[in-house]
Amino acid sequence: MKQFISLCIFLIFPLSALTSTDLSDDYEAGEELYDLACANCHGKNLRNPGTASFNLKMFPKNDKKRFISSVTSGKGFMPALGDVFDAEEIEQIWVYVSQHK
């Protein structure tokens, strides 16, 4: 039995080591921030609630610059959030939005 358990730990450990990279930490941090500050308008899980807000699933994944600038300075009815979040947090939200499946 003891051997069985250590075998399980041996098999599971490399998997968890693979999934807990820095990037997935950023993804999770970004998800929390998103749920807190963006989901009201843009929808939980990026599912657009049918309001006038932008559908973030359609946001171009290669345009990080535009994302940072829109979130920092606001756009149209979207409030500027540059005073609410620091650069690192906006970066984490970008990881979440751009890698969301």
Smallest gap from Cβ 79 to ligand HEC, in A, equals: 6
Interface residues with ligand HEC (CB under 6 A) are 37-38, 40-42, 52-54, 56, 59, 66-67, 70-71, 75-79, 81, 93
- Distance between CA 55 and CA 46 in Å, rounded? 7
Smallest gap from Cβ 61 to ligand HEC, in A, equals: 11
Smallest gap from Cβ 23 to ligand HEC, in A, equals: 18
How would you label 49-87 residue by residue, b for 16+ Cβ within 10 Å and e otherwise?
A: eeeebeebeebeeeebeebbebbeeeeeebeebeeebee
Nearest residue (CB) to ligand HEC, 17 versus 52: 52
